[in-house]
Amino acid sequence: MAELLFGTGGSPHSAKSASTIDGIERIAELGLGCMELEFVQGVRMGEAGARLVAETAVRVGVKLSAHGPYFINLNAREPEKIRASQDRILQTARIASLCGANSITFHAAFYMGDSPEKTYGTVKKYLAEILDRLKRENNRVCVRPEVMGKVTQFGTLEEILNLSSELEGVAPCIDFAHWHARSGGFNSYPEFASILEQVEERLGRTALDDMHIHVSGINYGKKGEISHLNLKESDFQYAELLKALKDFGAKGILICESRNLEEDALLLQATYGAL
Ligand SMILES: [Zn+2]
């Protein structure tokens, strides 16, 4: 991608209606560049709807990504829950592809009391099956497990970078607010820069040229993330992150998940633009 685009997770609050089409049009009106389709309660969009979404996004010049359902756990105890989780990721990828999105993200798993190593092996195995299937379907959507904010959730920065380097078709979705909440650190320029250095070292320059980033204000405790906030109500040093992204020439999409969505997305875009 040629630049770093800013947008919202889901339709902006100020859209005419909650419909995806109105959301995409509002993104363009606001002068933002991208939007994440939130399939978090399930993939309820049909194929015809997805084609309309794709047309709209192309017409107004908005880049799309998609977020898979919350009810995904590739480390579930019951085999049927694993299958259902795989199906939800596949469904997200299929509809996202019809929408013209080239990147999907999702919350991969919970540790469920297993060691991180054992969980990693399980997630990797079931994710590989998904990639295999998508390849056979000729679906080229980039599959991006997200860096997660709670200590019970699979998805440390290292786990996500490891999956990305070991599985073809996988790349990271780096949620910098989650990582700050989970680690209690990673809230300064040198720390943000160290993450970007790691991305380049592990995955190559192309990974920095095509990033999928989440940012929001965040409230957290000992076990990590508690809730999303607006940036100015939180301690998240977004200006430092933006400076690091700019200095590293990071490109791709930056999705704002603050409660106020477009307000913070515009704040991020303006702050970045003024650097
Ligand atoms: Zn997420």
Give the pLDDT confidence of 46-97 residue by residue, as tens digits: 999 999 999 999 999 999 999 999 999 999 999 999 999 999 999 999 999 9
Q: How far is the CA of 105 from the centre of ligand 1 (A)?
A: 7
Question: Distance, CA 121 to ligand 1 centroid (Å)?
Answer: 21
pLDDT surpassing 70 at residue 1: no
Judged by DSSP in three states, 76 sits in coil
**Ligand 1 centroid, distance to 67 Cα (angstroms):** 7
CA distance 62 to 224: 33
- What pLDDT is attached to residue 2? 77
H helix intervals, the chain: 20-30, 47-60, 79-98, 116-136, 157-166, 176-183, 189-203, 205-209, 238-247, 262-273
**50 Cα–ligand 1 center, Å:** 21
Distance 175 CA to ligand 1 centre (A): 8
Distance 157 CA to ligand 1 centre (A): 14
Task: Note whether 112 and 156 are within 8 A (CB).
Answer: no
Ligand 1 centroid to residue 113 C-alpha, Å: 22
157-160 long-range contacts (CB < 8 A, ≥24 apart) are 157/195, 157/198, 159/116, 159/120
Give this prediction's pTM.
0.97
Report the SS3 class of residue 6: strand
Residue with more model confidence, 1 or 146: 146
CA 107–ligand 1 middle distance (angstroms): 6
Residue 26: partners with Cβ closer than 8 Å, 6 or more residues away: 11, 12, 14, 15, 16, 262
CA of 79 to the centre of ligand 1 (A): 24
- Cα–Cα distance for residue pair 134/130, rounded to 1 Å: 6
What is the spatial distance between Cα 232 and Cα 31, in angstroms, rounded to a whole number? 21
* CA 178 to centroid of ligand 1, rounded, Å: 9
Span from the CA of 182 to the centroid of ligand 1 (angstroms)? 14
Q: Which of 111, 23, 31, 116 has its CA nearest to residue 74? A: 111
- For 163-209, write each residue's pLDDT tens digit: 999 999 999 999 999 999 999 999 999 999 999 999 999 999 999 99
Question: 106: CA distance to ligand 1 center in Å?
Answer: 6
Angle (deg, nearest 10), helices 262-273 and 238-247: 50
Considering the chain, what is the average pLDDT of its residues?
97
Give percent of the chain with pLDDT exceeding 90: 99
CA of 29 to the centre of ligand 1 (A): 25
Distance CA 85, CA 70 (A): 9
Q: How far is the CA of 14 from the centre of ligand 1 (A)?
A: 22
Spell out the residues 6+ positions from residue 106 whose beta carbon is closer than 8 angstroms to its own.
Answer: 67, 68, 69, 72, 88, 89, 92, 144, 145, 146
First to last CA, the chain: 20
